[in-house]
Amino acid sequence: MNFLSTVIFNNTIQTWLLAVLVTVLLFGVFRVARKVLVNRACKLAAKTATDVDDFLCELLEDLRSFFLLGLAVLLSSRVLVLSTDVRGVIRVVFIILALLQGGFLASKLLMCLINKQAGREAESQSATLKTIGRFLTGLVWAIVIVMALDSIPGIEVSTLVTTMGITGIAVAFAIQNILSDLFAALSITFDQPFAVGDVIVVDDLIGTVERIGLKSTRVRSLSGEQLIFSNSDLLSSRIRNFQQMDRRRVVLKFGVTYQTPHEKLQVIPAMVEHVIAGREKITFDRAHFTGFGDSTLDFEVVYWVENSDYGFFMDMQQDIDLKLMKRFEEENIEFAYPTQTVFLEKGN
């Protein structure tokens, strides 16, 4: 018993053994508690359709043993008589361990969100998202390292942060175009104004999106060549996305000759409606006599093609135009074309 009463660093051997026992017990309790919580969280996650509980389960699984051990040591140190400096060291070590654990949790959460979004995207966008995820993960760990250094007494990080800030500004100015395209790629990925496979029109250029990269987007034009747009320029342009179109509005204008009798002019709208209405995936809107042209009596017809496919749209338009021509021929109604009539007056 005299051995246990021996004082080492202001504490008896018995007190040191008690502190070690408390540390081991707390560490074991923390590990068991983590395992129980993970099992229950995963069972609940399997019964729900939401992803929040799945994230929680993965975060609980990512609680590292070094953090649990550090927490156990911090709590068990309360039974010891320690100097202020020693307690300060224990506190600093625990803060560093907690920051490392926070870095792992933040990285895990970030990559879970990135991988979930990447799973919904095409291969090229998925690669872009994962690259952005790695960049953001590096940023998280840079912040963790700076905070860890700041927690150590005697280390002044303000100079380091200032230097990093100045360097970051200089680098940002040097690669501002690349950064602009990078953030544009991030905006395209999350906002999704278009996706791989969509047919888009940018100014007077039209094509199918093939790849969305970190710096540029590649579009295959209708004539076969590849168009390359920088992401920032693309987002600053007015983009028309035909892939998101559910129906097409068609405005058909034509004119008949001034020699067309009034009776036939009256039945032309009904005649046009009869040709268009009743077709599959075609919705007739209106047909009207709109006015007097220089050499034509003008009509305007509006109908909707309930299909986004361009080939189907052209087929329907061609068929309707041909049927109208045939119907007008049967009724002896002539389409007008630019003409001039010259009247000559014979003098005495």
Same domain for 303 and 252?
yes
Same domain for 253 and 239?
no
Same domain for 269 and 228?
no
How many structural domains comprise the chain?
Answer: 3
Q: Which residues pair with 217 in a beta bridge?
A: 212, 229
Establish if 340 belongs to a structural domain: no
Same domain for 236 and 284?
no
Establish if 202 belongs to a structural domain: yes
Same domain for 240 and 316?
no
Establish if 290 belongs to a structural domain: yes
- Residue numbers of the domain that contains 225: 185-244
Cα separation, 296 vs 90, in Å, equals 95
Same domain for 239 and 300?
no
Contact 198, 209 (CB under 8 A): yes
Cα separation, 182 vs 339, in Å, equals 58
Establish if 26 belongs to a structural domain: yes
**Where is the domain boundary, 244, 261, 290?**
244
Establish if 1 belongs to a structural domain: no
Contact 14, 5 (CB under 8 A): yes
Query: DSSP secondary structure string, 64-127?
Result: -HHHHHHHHHHHHGGGS---HHHHHHHHHHHHHHHHHHHHHHHHHHHHHHHHHHHHHS-HHHHH
Which residues are CB-contacts of 267 (< 8 A; sequence separation ≥ 6)?
none
Establish if 190 belongs to a structural domain: yes
Query: DSSP secondary structure string, 110-128?
Result: HHHHHHHHHHHS-HHHHHH
The backbone region for 203, taken as left when phi is positive above 0, alpha when psi lies in -120 to 50, beta otherwise, is left
Give, for all 348 residues of the chain, the pLDDT tens digit. 577 777 887 888 888 899 999 999 999 999 999 998 888 888 887 777 776 777 778 788 888 999 999 999 999 988 888 888 888 899 999 999 999 999 998 888 888 777 776 666 555 566 667 777 787 888 888 888 888 888 888 777 776 667 666 666 666 565 566 667 777 777 777 777 888 888 888 888 888 888 888 778 889 988 888 988 888 888 888 888 877 778 888 999 999 999 899 999 999 999 999 999 888 889 999 999 999 988 899 999 999 998 878 788 899 999 999 999 999 999 999 998 777 677 777 765
Establish if 173 belongs to a structural domain: no
Same domain for 214 and 283?
no
Other CB atoms closer than 10 Å to residue 311's CB: what's the count? 8
Same domain for 275 and 301?
yes
- Report the first-to-last Cα separation within the chain, whole angstroms: 153
Same domain for 71 and 104?
yes
Establish if 56 belongs to a structural domain: yes
Q: What are phi and psi of 74, to 5 degrees?
A: -60, -40
CATH number at residue 300: 3.30.70.100
> Which amino acid is located at 178 in the chain?
I
Nearest 5°: the CA angle 195, 199, 205 is: 115
Tell me what pLDDT residue 261 has. Answer: 92
Q: What are phi and psi of 336, to 5 degrees?
A: -90, 155
Structural element, H or E, at residue 231:
helix 231-236
Same domain for 113 and 32?
yes
Same domain for 225 and 294?
no
CATH number at residue 191: 2.30.30.60
Same domain for 26 and 140?
yes
Token duo for residue 308? 């986004």
pTM (whole model) above 0.75: no
Cα separation, 11 vs 5, in Å, equals 9
Contact 182, 214 (CB under 8 A): yes
Q: What is the largest CA-CA distance in the chain?
A: 154
